[in-house]
Amino acid sequence: MRALLVHNPKAGVGICTADELQETLRSAGISLIPCDNAEQPFPKCMTEPVDVVIAAGGDGTVAKTIRKMPDRSIPIAILPIGTANNIAHSLGIAGKPGEIVGNWSLKRTRVLDVGLVRGDWGKCSFVEAVGVGSLTKATQEVDAALFESKNPMQKGRTALAKQLATTEPEETRLILDGQELPGDLLLVEIMNIACIGPGLHLAPAADPGDGLLDVVCVRADQREAMLQWLEAPDHKQVPLSVHRGRQITVVWRGTPLRVDDRVLSEPKGVSRATTSIEGNVKVLLP
């Protein structure tokens, strides 16, 4: 098997070094073309002829790799060595690199949808979710921190709880396949996978390959229930209903838009974004 390895060397601290990772892959009979995803030639190396593209890192590495792949008919293999690993977990991929690599097969794959969001600012692909409101504000707060947290998952959840507790409902319109949903929301997440952010299963029944997007909203009257859930989100089902559709438009005012882990610049006035599924990739399953 000939593979392009896209590795984030900053991910997986304490899991394995870059040399150990490459040795694990080569021991499994994989011929490697290494590619550091932090380097400028990253898009260029994606054109190498290979049987599979391996994304070793967290959700940012996986999503960036998928967005940059010029040929999505080539399968992607995921080695989850990041913090949350939401994409891998939503696909049922977990374990140490050696355990996962030993069970890969080009004949055993699963479809992962790739979304597209369009607005006045342009368009871009996404793999995890598009969101406005409290989770996006919490992401900004965590990204702006000047120190590394020993528990980044808990830091993200604490930041979200703080935003949910203090944020006032935004004037928001949601249009799902032509049908408008109630507005004035604390949080809107248009999700392609089951869990996002600091490992939060906001859409536990989401199917990453069904061609649909799952929409999660938090109204003001659901604030207290969400805050209680955030005290132990790994042990309780989220107290929210989930809507599902093929095309979702969100119209909002005053807060930025988050696309996967990227927060776009602060909008001016009323903003509008439309999301849908633009295609898919095949993911190797262990």
pLDDT digits 0-9 by tens, 191-227: 999 999 999 999 999 999 999 999 999 999 999 999 9
What confidence category does residue 51 fall into, taking pLDDT thresholds of 50, 70 and 90?
Answer: very high
Tell me the mean pLDDT in the region 39-48. Answer: 80
pLDDT of residue 279: 97
Q: How far is CA 69 from CA 49, 75, 149, 213, in A?
A: 12, 10, 32, 22
Tell me the mean pLDDT in the region 187-194. Answer: 97
- Residue 214's contacts (CB-CB under 8 Å, 6 or more residues apart) are 190, 191, 192, 203, 205, 206, 242, 243, 244
Architecture in CATH for domain 115-279 = Sandwich (2.60)
* pLDDT at residue 92 is higher than 70: yes
CA gap 45, 5 in Å, rounded: 10
* pLDDT at residue 165 is higher than 70: yes
Supply the mean pLDDT for the chain.
92
* pLDDT at residue 161 is higher than 70: yes
* pLDDT at residue 36 is higher than 80: no
Architecture in CATH for domain 2-107 = 3-Layer(aba) Sandwich (3.40)
pLDDT of residue 267: 72
pLDDT of residue 43: 81
What confidence category does residue 13 fall into, taking pLDDT thresholds of 50, 70 and 90?
Answer: low
Extents of the domains making up the chain: 2-107, 115-279
- Residue 149's contacts (CB-CB under 8 Å, 6 or more residues apart) are 155
* pLDDT at residue 42 is higher than 90: no
For the chain, percent of residues with pLDDT exceeding 90: 76
pLDDT tens, position by position, 229-247: 999 999 999 999 999 999 9
What confidence category does residue 164 fall into, taking pLDDT thresholds of 50, 70 and 90?
Answer: very high
Are both 2-107 and 115-279 of the same fold? Answer: no
The residue to which tokens 């997986």 are assigned: 12
What confidence category does residue 15 fall into, taking pLDDT thresholds of 50, 70 and 90?
Answer: confident
- Give the sign of the dihedral formed by CA 272, CA 241, CA 59, CA 146: positive
pTM of the full predicted structure? Answer: 0.94
pLDDT tens, position by position, 97-151: 999 998 999 999 999 999 999 998 899 999 999 999 999 999 998 888 766 677 8
